[in-house]
Amino acid sequence: MVVSRAAKRIWLTGATSGIGRALALRLLDQGHLVALSARSEPALRALCRGRANAIAVPLDITDRASVIAAGQNLADLLGHLDLAILNAGTCEYLEHGQLDTALVERVFAVNFFGSLHCIEAALPLLRRAREQGKHPQLAATSSAAAYLALPRAEAYGASKAALSHFLESLRLDLAPQGISVSLIHPGFVDTPLTKRNDFPMPARISAEAAAKAIIGGLERRRLDIHFPRRFTIGLRLLGLLPPSLRFQLGKRLVRQPATEN
């Protein structure tokens, strides 16, 4: 396979739907050599069909052995990584303060530990790029929910906040190695995942608009890529309020249990 010298070697997870699919199509159209990962092999094959610069690497990010094997496969196929975009994620909500630890574990298995598995697999290939004089990037999709605690989002928000904190710390340790780290904090994006939401989603944007914002932020090597800014800046400002005031405002968003007649 012949790849232009300007093309990047990229690994993208969560590539077959929502933001991931929009990112995949945009990166492929730009001529980059992109390894695409998701659980569904048929969906990956369909996405790669007719695109010589697309490589299907099916995996379940919750299975560490599968991810490490995928990393070895990427090393054979690509040699190094200029950019890893860890985008796979999930969302489940708790209802009325009823703790379901199995639900929390499921969400963390994908959003936090699954991302860590991918980081573990990607870092050796990012270091190879640096050894070749390149400027590799590691990026992961967190959420604007990491900025502010919201009702029902105990599992989802905590998993994304944990991911953000982990990568902000890792950014410090990787800086001397020449690997930059970007965090992506989307607001509401129109995806199959958000279509399941049963509440208003202010400032919702398309997956294509989200992909454009992400790629633009990565090209500028922004540390925090957040959008739509009219929404995410508001959340960040609310997160700076005193705890008592955040509590009073947050209570207004709590859904009351349905009453039986």
| 156 in active site | yes
Residues 126, 138: contact at Cβ < 8 Å?
A: yes
* Catalytic entry in 11, 93, 112, 156: 156
Q: Which two tokens stand for residue 216?
A: 């633009």
Q: Which of 181, 23, 25, 3 is CA-nearest to residue 89?
A: 23
Residues 180, 139: contact at Cβ < 8 Å?
A: no
Q: How far apart are CA 15 and CA 28, in angstroms?
A: 12
In DSSP terms, 116 is beta-bridged to none
Q: Which two tokens stand for residue 205?
A: 């944007």
In DSSP terms, 55 is beta-bridged to 35
Q: How far apart are CA 59 and CA 234, in angstroms?
A: 36
Per DSSP, the three-state class of 94 is coil
AA letter at 162: A
Cis peptide before 243 (omega within 30 of 0): no
Residues 185, 232: contact at Cβ < 8 Å?
A: yes
Q: What positions carry a catalytic annotation?
A: 156
